[in-house]
Amino acid sequence: MSRTSPREQFRAFLAKRGLRATNQRLAILDAALAQREHVTAEQLLDYARDIDDSVSRATVYRTLPILTECGLLREVDIGSGEKFYRTHREGDDTQVAQVVCVDCDRIFEISAPFMSWYGNTVSSKLGLTPVNQRLQVSARCDALRDTGQCARRGRP
Amino acid sequence: MSRTSPREQFRAFLAKRGLRATNQRLAILDAALAQREHVTAEQLLDYARDIDDSVSRATVYRTLPILTECGLLREVDIGSGEKFYRTHREGDDTQVAQVVCVDCDRIFEISAPFMSWYGNTVSSKLGLTPVNQRLQVSARCDALRDTGQCARRGRP
DNA sequence: CTGCCTGCAAACTCTTTGCACGAAT
DNA sequence: ATTCGTGCAAAGAGTTTGCAGGCAG
C-alpha cells in the first residue's frame, strides 16, 4: 500500500538522523537493491563502483549498518567468516530460517513463523526476553547425491 | 553404559586416523574437559599451558577440529567474530538452541528437540537433506531490566 | 629412522579506524 | 561556513600456514 520507494525511505531515514544523502551512499543502496541473491560487502563494493566508481570499501562498510538499521537490508551471518546482505522488501517475513546448501553454497530463506514462539519458550525459562533469533540449517543436495548433478550448481 | 573415558576415546580416534597422541594434544583435551562453560581458542590456550606450557596457539587451532570431529567438543558460533567450544559429553542432546544474553554475554544451551523436525520440513521443500542446524536466540535479561541487577552478571 | 607434529612468526581474511581532504547542507 | 563524509592505507582481531627442527611410533 505504501507509495514510499526505497530511495525515499533511505533519504527520510538519513534526514531524520542528521546524516547526508551522498552519491556514494545512494550508489550502494542502488547496487544492493539490484541484487536478488545474498551478497557480500566485497561484491556490493564492485556493484556500487559500477554505478559510482568513487565508492570505497570503507564507505561500503560504513554504509551497511545504516541500510540495515533503516530496514532496507537484512544481515545474514551463516558463520562462514564473512557476512551476507540481502535487500529486505516490504512484506518480507521477519521470521526466516536460512538453509545453506553445503554443496552449492547457496543460501535459501524460508519463512519460519514458529521461530518467535520457540525463542520465547526457550528464553523465558532463563528469565530472558528474546531480541532476535536465527534458525540455520546446513544441508546437502538430494539431486547431487542421487544423480551427481544439481541444477543449481554454479548458478549465482 | 560405555566405559570409555574421553582420553581413551581420543586416543582411539587418533590411532584410527594414523595421528599421534602428543602431549600437547592431550593437554588441550584435558584443558577442554575441565571447563564447564563455553571457551574460546585463546582461553583454551591459557588453560592448556597450565598443564603443558609448551602448547602453542597454532597447535590449539590445529587440534580443535580434531576434537570436534572426534565428538568430544562442540563448536558454537554465535556470530561474534570468535568461535566458542564446549565439551560434548555423552548423553548431551544434539539438538540444542543457544541463547545468548546480550547483557552479560553468557551463552546458555537449551534442548530443542523440535529443531530436527523443523530442519527436515524446511529442507525437504528445497530438495535438501539437513546436515545440522542451529537455533540461536539473542536475548536481554529481565532481572537487569527490572531491578538493574543480574545475578549472573560478571560471573564466568 | 621416518614422517607426522611442533612452535614461531608471518600471512591471510574480513572489518574497523585515523587522518587530511572534499562535499552536502 | 561548518560539519559530516570520504578515500586511502594502516591497524585489528581471529585464524591459518610455511618452515626448520623435534619427537612419537
pLDDT tens, B5-49?
888 899 999 999 999 999 999 999 999 999 988 999 999 999 999
Phi then psi dihedrals of residue A9, to 5 deg:
-60, -40
Domain containing residue A107: 93-156
Which nucleotides of strand C are protein-proximal, with an atom < 7 A from a CB? 4-9, 13-18, 23-25
Per-residue pLDDT, A155: 44
Strand C close residues, chain A 26-45, CB < 7 angstroms: 40-42
Of B31, B95, B35, the C-alpha closest to B63 is: B31
Q: Within this chain, do residues A78 and A10 fall inside the same structural domain, yes or no?
A: yes
Per residue in A53-102, pLDDT (tens digit) is 999 999 999 999 999 999 999 999 888 889 999 998 876 777 888 999 98
Q: Do B118 and A112 touch (CB under 8 A)?
A: yes
* Percent of chain A scoring above 90 in pLDDT: 51
Query: What total of structural domains would you count in chain A?
Result: 2
| Strand D nucleotides within a 7 Å radius of protein CB atoms | 4-9, 13-18, 23-25
Q: Name the nucleotide nearest B59; use CA and C1'.
A: C6
My answer on whether B4 and B74 are in the same domain is: yes
DSSP A64: H
**Cα(B15)–Cα(B11) distance, rounded to whole angstroms?**
6
Low-confidence stretches of chain B (pLDDT beneath 50): 155-156
Same domain, A148 and A100: yes
Does pLDDT of A156 surpass 70? no
pLDDT at site A2? 53
* CB contact set of A135 (below 8 Å; sequence gap of 6+): A97, A98, A112, A115, A118, B115, B118, B133, B134, B135, B136
Residue nearest to nucleotide D7 (CA to C1'): A56
Return the axis-axis angle of helices B41-51 and B57-70, rounded to nearest 10°.
Answer: 100
Same domain membership, residue B109 and residue B75: no
For the stretch A21-39, pLDDT in tens is: 999 999 999 999 999 899 9
Amino acid at B23: N
Query: How far are the Cα atoms of B7, B21, B29, B72 from residue B3, in angstroms, in the given order?
Result: 11, 20, 18, 15
pLDDT score, position B119: 84
Domain end position, chosen among A90, A112, A147: A90
* Residue B125 sits in the same domain as residue B73: no
Q: Based on C-alpha coordinates, what's the Rg of chain B?
A: 18
Pick from A79, A135, A143: CB nearest B127: A143
Between CA B130 and CA B11 the distance in angstroms is 30
More confident residue, B127 or A4: B127
What pLDDT, on the 0 to 100 scale, is given for residue B39? 96
Q: Is the dihedral of CA A49, A52, A54, A59 positive or negative?
A: negative
- Measured in degrees and rounded to the nearest 5, phi and psi for residue A100 equal -105, 120
Q: Give how far Cα A50 sits from Cα of A7, A10, A148, A156, Å.
A: 18, 20, 37, 18
What spatial distance separates the first Cα and last Cα of chain A, rounded to whole Å? 32
Task: Tell whether B104 and B53 lie within a shared domain.
Answer: no
Q: Which of B122, B124, B147 to mutate to test the interface with A (most CBs of A within 10 A)?
A: B122
Same domain, A102 and A86: no
pTM of the model: 0.85
B36 with B63, same domain: the answer is: yes
Residues by Cβ under 7 A, strand D: A 18-20, 22, 24-25, 54-59, 62-63; B 20-23, 40-42, 57-58, 61-62, 81-83
Question: For position B36, which CATH number holds?
Answer: 1.10.10.10
